[in-house]
Amino acid sequence: MNGHIEIIPAIDIIDSKCVRLSQGDYNAKTVYDASPVDMVKRFADHGFTRIHAVDLDGAKAGHPCNLRVLEQLASASADARIEWGGGIKTDDDMRDCVNAGCAFAVIGSVAAKQPELFDNWLMRYGNGMMLLGADLRDGKVAVSGWLGDTDITLDNIVQRFLPAGLTQAIVTDISRDGMLQGPAFSLYTEIQSRYPEVDFTVSGGISSLGDVERCAELGLRRVIVGKALYEGHVTLKELQRLC
């Protein structure tokens, strides 16, 4: 193991329940027994304090829909800091999420479609809180819960926000998300070396402990683990040992 890597467990939420989608398809949905709050407590008990949570209802509706759940997650453990995304489109949405306890906000559609607003949020809330969420389909950024496409490339969008102080981005390869086929390692190593000032999070495709170890060996800095945890391909204990 060459590098230290931050492991971020994920919770996807529909109707206040934990779910996972395959390739972002709302019809290809698995609902899990554990409640989101229970999952946060479990993650925090194993030492994982940064937790990625996605309001999938919000991503689809275009405004946050699970703010009550966010409040519960933020207060579930004194150690947990919630990284929240899904449907944050307006100043009011952003303020509501902050008030509900989100520690980090993941912004995708607004960054792609209203870049000045994201500039504004980077300045107002700080680059320690704001993350660019770049979800890629065939190399182009997808928006609106992956239901819409754009002509924007990853380079376009990262370069657009570097002058505004961007330091964090989550890049998801939609084709691999929820498929347990391994992440697009070359995509992440390429962008991490091209933009060393940005901490990129690997998102989509982690299928095993080996995938996480490989990310660390390649010098990648952060990785989101979702479906592999829920399906038992990797355990929190195993991940804990890596940290």
Rounded Cα distance between 102 and 81, Å, is: 7
Q: What does pTM read for this prediction?
A: 0.94
Domains of the chain: 6-234 (3.20.20.70)
Strands 6-14 vs 50-55: parallel, antiparallel or unpaired: parallel
Token representation of residue 143: 């928006």
Active site residue 92: no
Rounded to 5 degrees, φ, ψ at 39 are -65, -40
- Write down the catalytic residue from 12, 57, 93, 177: 12
Residue 145 has pLDDT above 80, yes or no: no
| 175-217: pLDDT as tens digits | 888 787 899 999 999 999 999 999 999 999 999 999 999 999 9
Helix axes 115-125, 91-100, angle to 10 degrees: 40
- Write down the catalytic residue from 55, 135, 177, 211: 135
Rounded Cα distance between 158 and 166, Å, is: 8
| 25-55: pLDDT as tens digits | 888 889 988 899 999 999 999 999 999 999 9
The candidate with the shortest Cα–Cα distance to 150, out of 93, 122, 94, 110, is 110
Residue 61 has pLDDT above 50, yes or no: yes
Rounded Cα distance between 167 and 224, Å, is: 17
Rounded to 5 degrees, φ, ψ at 84 are -120, 135
Cβ(203)–Cβ(174) under 8 Å?
Answer: no
Length of the chain: 243
Active site residue 135: yes
Rounded to 5 degrees, φ, ψ at 90 are -130, 170
Rounded to 5 degrees, φ, ψ at 178 are 75, 5
